[in-house]
């Protein structure tokens, strides 16, 4: 508790905990309390030796050795008994052949049987194959050597070879029956590229273009936002800017971002004012890019953070920063004595000098590599509407700092969206506690929004939201992005009742489906204006949930769901995550080897199916079975029906049924061959399939399918699927 009256509760959670060994970025200093946990700290708990894994061969050998030990003891025991019986047959110890006794005391059959037992252990100890362990270890060393120095496993891009860190389970690689793989970062490169977007029912594709006439030196000299935002990525270099969007975003200002309601006639027909509907579309476009810029946790820097603080608390610049500051000061001195360029107008007056009507003139669609060069004299010509009076360097005055910006994001999806927004001029400039600064092209300057709350993404809600306050109107705005199934279901009811809004929703859903069919990752963007009384009531509940000592995460999620409703639809995005090199060939070889490959992903069903086809997990001649159910009874009915159909197809192939389920027009000769099946299960149906009463039927169905894809699956569901197969089928599995 803190505050003047000591009544305000400040919740502490895992986000406030700095564990030993952590690296802090973009932080000059911290204030905290050191807590000693002794051997219960994470560093100490992780310092234990790793769990020893035994391969199937090692377990088999250990079991056989136990049998050998039992056999050895049995042989020695029988030999000792037979020796005692044999000695007992002699009445005089002096006539016992081959065994001279020193005295009569040694001649005791029971004592001699006990001694002979250990004698036979020495004689028969070769039954235990001790040399086998040595031989196997030598073979494993040779196997690891060949794995490490296999040229086919060398990765040239990173100059790294294969590194085998497990000596004891290498032989299991050839015994795997099931492979469970995630999609993002495993099959794909995890480098997101903004490809398309739909705003207010209008599709805006962003196809890449390559200009062979532009050489590297010319490209490097231009103001290219995409190539300078991050040195580590060039995925946005060839994005084609859509001219209609570009014109709308360039007029974005605080005044244009104010909320406008569209009047609709009582019959629920068209808008009473066409201009109002068009104005609302323009506003949706600007809200769309604003949401892309600020609805995230991206941190903005101008360099790799290397601030140095001395003992007195003064932060010193790094040597590279000092050199850069000196270089900039020299350049400014050459421009003008006071460091200012007399030919350029002040930044806050740029928007007033650019007539809005001139922005509506048709312009040649620029590419990202020269998206700002037209303002710098590169391709815009003298008549470009964005040229300033003398040098015409709008990029030099307003966008010069953008070339230095680096975005550091936890998620590559967020990074792709922020870069796309920056490409159109709506650039995230700064993020701090409770504040977020964005450059608005229509303002010609940076605008600061109050960041009230961040409702983080979780696998249950499948969406992320931020609550901000409009600097001019003081409106409280809720911005959200997430999976289409979770955002479209909480839209305002007018999208189901009023015709213009119904059409917008239908067009958006159609575009989302097209993006998914192309294999793009889709996100839906929406906003809502909160009434102050409603926000005040919700904030009280949210603070109570944050301060809860028990079930805090669940309570926060419930409170977030209470406010995330009645949204205004803005649009959706399509982001491409390319397959890694060699993925289709690898999956095909694994399937040819008889290995069952399952892909467990959280993506949309159409996206998962397209990726399955492109990675050759699905073949064109396979029959695809889709399990999409709303309740347990429907799921069970689906399972029973598909199991029955497959059994019928095995006994007597039915071409008509096959063609109906495939949706193809192949000849009967090709269809009547042995069928292969591919199974697709969505997350909702998977939850029912994992219940005790249905898991056996689900496993039976999966065993009849060559390939399985589980889409919209949560991390918990992925783990349960792997556990289900391993516990019930007793197969060696590899989960990636």
DSSP string, 21-55: T----S-S---------GGGSHHHHTTSPPPPP--
If you average pLDDT over every residue of the chain, what do you get? 76
**Element containing residue 422 per DSSP (H, E):** helix 412-423
Residue 374 CB coordination number (10 Å): 23
What's the pLDDT tens digit per position in 376-403? 333 333 333 333 333 333 334 444 555 5
**Is the predicted pLDDT of residue 678 greater than 80, yes or no?**
yes
The residue ranking higher by pLDDT, 119 or 15, is 119
Tell me the pLDDT band of 312, cut-offs 50, 70 and 90. low
Contact 681, 710 (CB under 8 A): yes
Give dist(CA 244, CA 242) in Å, integer.
6
Give dist(CA 602, CA 712) in Å, integer.
4
What is the mean pLDDT of the segment spanning 459-482?
Answer: 92
Give dist(CA 100, CA 114) in Å, integer.
17
Tell me the pLDDT band of 699, cut-offs 50, 70 and 90. very high
Which range has highest mean pLDDT (17-21, 371-375, 678-682)? 678-682
Measured in degrees and rounded to the nearest 5, phi and psi for residue 301 equal -135, 165
What's the pLDDT tens digit per position in 643-670? 998 888 877 765 534 333 433 333 333 4
For residue 477, the cross-strand partners are: 468, 529
Weakest-pLDDT range from 167-176, 357-366, 621-630, 668-677: 357-366
What's the pLDDT tens digit per position in 26-54? 677 787 887 766 777 777 777 777 777 88
Weakest-pLDDT range from 300-309, 530-539, 559-568: 300-309
End-to-end CA distance of the chain: 44
Give dist(CA 43, CA 609) in Å, integer.
41
What per-residue confidence (pLDDT) applies to 20? 72
Is domain 188-305+355-386+394-575 annotated with CATH 2.60.120.10?
A: no
Give dist(CA 726, CA 713) in Å, integer.
18
Tell me the pLDDT band of 300, cut-offs 50, 70 and 90. confident
**Is the predicted pLDDT of residue 311 greater than 80, yes or no?**
no
SS3 state of residue 313? coil
What's the pLDDT tens digit per position in 518-555? 889 999 999 999 999 999 999 999 988 988 888 888 99
What per-residue confidence (pLDDT) applies to 271? 44
DSSP state letter for 509: H
What per-residue confidence (pLDDT) applies to 308? 56
Which range has highest mean pLDDT (38-47, 238-247, 617-626)? 617-626
**Is the predicted pLDDT of residue 442 greater than 90, yes or no?**
no
Give dist(CA 538, CA 558) in Å, integer.
11
Tell me the pLDDT band of 503, cut-offs 50, 70 and 90. very high
What per-residue confidence (pLDDT) applies to 262? 45
Weakest-pLDDT range from 166-180, 228-242, 394-408: 228-242
Cβ-in-10-Å burial (0-12, 13-18, 19+) of 542 comes to buried
> What Å distances lie between residue 184 and 19, 412, 459, 604, 605, CA to CA?
28, 10, 15, 13, 14
The residue ranking higher by pLDDT, 468 or 370, is 468
Question: Which candidate, 148, 143, 141, 145, places its Cα nearest to that of 162?
Answer: 148
What is the mean pLDDT of the segment spanning 220-224?
Answer: 31
Catalytic residues: 182
Tell me the pLDDT band of 444, cut-offs 50, 70 and 90. confident
Range 581-735: architecture per CATH: 3-Layer(aba) Sandwich (3.40)
What per-residue confidence (pLDDT) applies to 98? 64
Weakest-pLDDT range from 187-201, 508-522, 639-653, 664-678: 664-678
What per-residue confidence (pLDDT) applies to 93? 62
Q: Where are the domains of the chain?
A: 56-128, 132-175, 188-305+355-386+394-575, 581-735
SS3 state of residue 179? strand
What per-residue confidence (pLDDT) applies to 369? 32
SS3 state of residue 488? helix
What per-residue confidence (pLDDT) applies to 377? 33
Weakest-pLDDT range from 120-124, 522-526, 592-596, 666-670: 666-670
What per-residue confidence (pLDDT) applies to 385? 33
What per-residue confidence (pLDDT) applies to 344? 33
Question: Which candidate, 646, 594, 651, places its Cα nearest to that of 622?
Answer: 646
Tell me the pLDDT band of 106, cut-offs 50, 70 and 90. low
What's the pLDDT tens digit per position in 607-618? 899 999 999 999
| pTM listed for this prediction | 0.70
Characterize 660-687 residue by residue with b for buried, 16 or more Cβ atoms within 10 angstroms of its Cβ, and e for exposed.
ebbeeeeeeeebeeebebbbbbbbebbb
Tell me the pLDDT band of 133, cut-offs 50, 70 and 90. confident
For residue 579, the cross-strand partners are: 188
Give dist(CA 219, CA 703) in Å, integer.
54
Contact 204, 197 (CB under 8 A): yes
The residue ranking higher by pLDDT, 237 or 635, is 635
**Is the predicted pLDDT of residue 169 greater than 70, yes or no?**
yes
């Amino acid at each position: 508790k803190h505050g003047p009256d000591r009544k305000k509760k400040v919740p502490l959670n895992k986000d406030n905990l700095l564990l030993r060994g952590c690296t802090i970025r973009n932080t000059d200093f911290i204030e905290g309390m050191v807590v000693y946990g002794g051997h219960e700290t994470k560093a100490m708990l992780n310092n234990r030796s790793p769990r020893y894994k035994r391969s199937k061969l090692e377990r088999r050998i250990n079991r056989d050795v136990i049998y050998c030990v039992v056999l050895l003891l049995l042989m020695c025991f029988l030999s000792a008994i037979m020796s005692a019986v044999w000695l007992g047959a002699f009445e005089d110890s002096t006539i016992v052949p081959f065994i001279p006794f020193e005295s009569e005391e040694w001649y005791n059959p029971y004592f001699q049987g006990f001694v002979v037992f250990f004698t036979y252990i020495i004689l028969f100890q070769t039954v235990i194959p001790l040399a086998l362990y040595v031989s196997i270890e030598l073979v494993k060393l040779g196997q690891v050597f060949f794995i490490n120095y296999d040229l086919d496993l060398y990765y040239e891009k990173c100059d790294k070879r294969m590194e085998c860190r497990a000596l004891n389970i290498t032989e299991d690689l050839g015994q795997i029956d099931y492979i469970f793989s995630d999609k993002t970062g495993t099959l794909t490169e995890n480098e997101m590229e903004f490809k398309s977007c739909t705003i207010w029912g209008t599709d805006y594709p962003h196809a890449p273009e390559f200009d062979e006439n532009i050489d590297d030196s010319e490209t490097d000299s231009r103001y290219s936002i995409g190539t300078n935002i991050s040195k580590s990525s060039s995925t946005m270099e060839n994005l084609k800017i859509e001219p209609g969007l570009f014109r709308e975003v360039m007029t974005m200002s605080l005044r244009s971002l104010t909320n406008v309601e569209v009047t609709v006639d009582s019959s629920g027909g068209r808008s009473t004012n066409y201009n109002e509907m068009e104005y609302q579309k323009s506003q949706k476009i600007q809200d769309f890019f604003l949401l892309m810029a600020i609805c995230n946790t991206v941190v903005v820097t101008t360099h790799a953070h290397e601030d140095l603080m001395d003992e007195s608390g003064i932060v010193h610049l790094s040597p590279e920063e000092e050199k850069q500051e000196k270089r900039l000061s020299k350049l400014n001195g050459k421009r003008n004595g006071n460091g200012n360029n007399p030919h350029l107008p002040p930044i806050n007056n740029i928007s007033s000098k650019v007539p809005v009507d001139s922005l509506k003139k048709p312009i040649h669609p620029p590419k990202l590599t020269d998206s700002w060069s037209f303002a710098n004299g590169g391709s815009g010509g003298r008549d470009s509407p964005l040229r300033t009076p003398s040098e015409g360097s709008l990029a030099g005055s307003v966008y010069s700092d953008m070339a230095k910006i680096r975005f550091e994001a936890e998620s590559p999806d967020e990074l792709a969206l922020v870069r796309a927004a920056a490409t159109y001029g709506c650039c995230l400039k700064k993020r701090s506690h409770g504040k977020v600064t964005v450059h608005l092209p229509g303002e010609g300057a940076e605008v600061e929004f109050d960041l009230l709350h961040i409702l983080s993404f979780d696998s249950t809600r499948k969406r992320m939201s931020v609550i901000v306050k409009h600097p001019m109107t003081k409106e409280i705005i809720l911005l959200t992005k997430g999976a289409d199934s979770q955002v479209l279901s909480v839209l305002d009811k007018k999208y189901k009742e009023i015709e213009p809004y119904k059409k917008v929703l239908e067009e958006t859903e159609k575009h989302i489906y097209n993006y998914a069919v192309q294999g793009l990752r889709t996100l839906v963007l929406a906003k809502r204006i909160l009434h102050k009384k409603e926000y005040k009531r919700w904030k009280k509940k949210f603070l109570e949930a944050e301060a809860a000592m028990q079930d805090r995460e669940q309570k926060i999620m419930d409170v977030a769901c209470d406010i995330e409703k009645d949204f205004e639809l803005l649009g959706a995005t399509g982001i491409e995550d390319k397959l890694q090199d060699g993925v289709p060939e690898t999956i095909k070889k694994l399937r040819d080897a008889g290995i069952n490959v399952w892909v467990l992903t959280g993506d949309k069903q159409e996206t998962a199916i397209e990726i399955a086809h492109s990675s050759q997990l699905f073949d064109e001649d396979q029959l695809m079975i889709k399990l999409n159910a709303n309740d347990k009874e429907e799921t069970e009915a689906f399972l029973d029906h598909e199991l029955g159909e497959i059994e019928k197809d095995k006994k007597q192939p039915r071409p008509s049924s096959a063609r109906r389920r495939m949706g193809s027009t192949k000849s009967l000769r090709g269809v009547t061959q042995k069928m292969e099946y591919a199974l697709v299960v969505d997350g909702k149906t998977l939850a029912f399939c994992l219940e005790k009463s249905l898991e056996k039927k689900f496993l039976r169905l999966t065993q009849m399918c060559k390939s399985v894809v589980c889409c919209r699956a949560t991390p918990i569901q992925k783990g349960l699927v792997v556990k289900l197969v391993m516990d019930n089928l007793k197969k060696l599995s590899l989960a990636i």
